[in-house]
């Protein structure tokens, strides 16, 4: 318990330091949350936040230039190379729906995809502090895609459902979500 509280304190200190930079876009706050969590070993983002090393250096120079961020994940997380095909599909889905005018879009996509390869709720795997942060981040960066989640399905399930539908795969046997026995697994609370 004491260790968890210390991690929270450390995360909040990292966040405060990261937020001291001038805000350049709404993504700055979400990136600061994810980076602060990543620095204290929370979430599943791997080394370089799941970015290529060059992208990581660019992110640091644009948003966090006064901070010396580690390159390796404090959690010890590594990318699961057995899921690379899935990774490519997720990247392509997000590229298809992304805002075209956002400087950091490639970084956001890579980080979100790295979080999707984790096994918890997406907001937790990314190191965000709440599901509402994730929802706001997705609505800002992928407005058309996020608008499709009009029934508030859990985000990771929603993204994978989009992949299945794009391939014409419908693995669920229920005629509709409302009658499915697993409804609460897809639409229940994540907090």
The token pair that represents 183 in the structure block: 């409804």
88 and 43 Cβ atoms separated by less than 8 Å: no
Tens of pLDDT, residue by residue over 24-46, are 789 999 999 999 999 999 999 99
DSSP state of 120: S
Q: What is the pTM of this model?
A: 0.87
How far is C-alpha 83 from the geometric centre of its chain's CA atoms? 17
Q: Where are the beta strands (DSSP E) in 85-160?
A: none
Cβ atoms of residues 31 and 102 within 8 Å: no
**First-to-final CA distance of the chain:** 19
Q: Which DSSP helix (H) or strand (E) runs through 148? A: none
Backbone angles phi, psi at 107, to 5 degrees: -65, -45
Per residue in 112-132, pLDDT (tens digit) is: 999 998 889 999 999 999 999
pLDDT for 175:
41
Query: How far apart, in whole angstroms, are the C-alpha atoms of residue 191 and residue 171?
Result: 27
| 48-93 confidence digits (pLDDT tens) | 999 999 999 999 998 888 678 898 988 888 777 677 778 999 999 9
């Amino acid at each position: 318990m004491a260790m968890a509280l210390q991690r929270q304190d450390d995360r909040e200190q990292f966040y405060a330091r990261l937020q001291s930079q001038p805000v350049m876009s709404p993504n700055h706050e979400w990136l600061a949350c994810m980076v602060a969590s990543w620095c204290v070993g929370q979430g599943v983002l791997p080394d370089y936040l799941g970015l290529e090393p060059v992208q990581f250096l660019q992110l640091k120079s644009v948003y966090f230039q006064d901070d010396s961020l580690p390159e390796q994940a404090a959690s010890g997380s590594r990318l699961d190379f057995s899921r690379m095909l899935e990774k490519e599909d997720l990247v392509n889905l997000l590229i298809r729906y992304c805002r075209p005018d956002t400087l950091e879009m490639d970084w956001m996509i890579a980080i979100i995809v790295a979080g999707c390869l984790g096994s918890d709720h997406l907001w937790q795997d990314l190191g965000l502090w709440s599901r509402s942060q994730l929802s706001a981040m997705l609505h800002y960066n992928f407005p058309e895609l996020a608008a499709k989640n009009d029934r508030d399905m859990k985000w990771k399930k929603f993204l994978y459902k989009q992949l299945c539908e794009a391939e014409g795969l419908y693995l669920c046997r229920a005629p509709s979500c409302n009658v499915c026995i697993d409804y609460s697994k897809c639409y229940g609370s994540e907090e």
